[in-house]
Structure 1
Amino acid sequence: MIVSDKMNQVLALYNEGLTLYKTRKFKEAKESFQKALQIEPHDGPSKLYIERCDDYIAEPPPEDWDGVYNMKTK
Structure 2
Amino acid sequence: MISEEKKKVLELFAEGRRYYKLMDFSKALQFFSDALRVDPNDGPSKVYYLRCKHYIDNPPPEDWDGVFVMTTK
- TM-score, normalization by structure 2: 0.97
> How many Å apart are 1:37 and its aligned residue?
0.5
- Taking the TM superposition and a 5 Å limit, the aligned residue runs for 1:16-31 are 16-31=15-30
> How many Å apart are 1:68 and its aligned residue?
0.4
> How many Å apart are 1:38 and its aligned residue?
0.5
- Taking the TM superposition and a 5 Å limit, the aligned residue runs for 1:48-59 are 48-59=47-58
Runs of 4+, deviation exceeding 6 Å: none
- Show the counterpart of 1:5: 4
What are the ranges of 5 or more consecutive residues in structure 1 without an aligned counterpart?
none
Distance 2:71 2:21 in 1: 19
What are the ranges of 5 or more consecutive residues in structure 2 without an aligned counterpart?
none
Aligned-residue CA RMSD (Å) = 0.5
Q: 1:32 is paired with a residue of what secondary structure?
A: helix
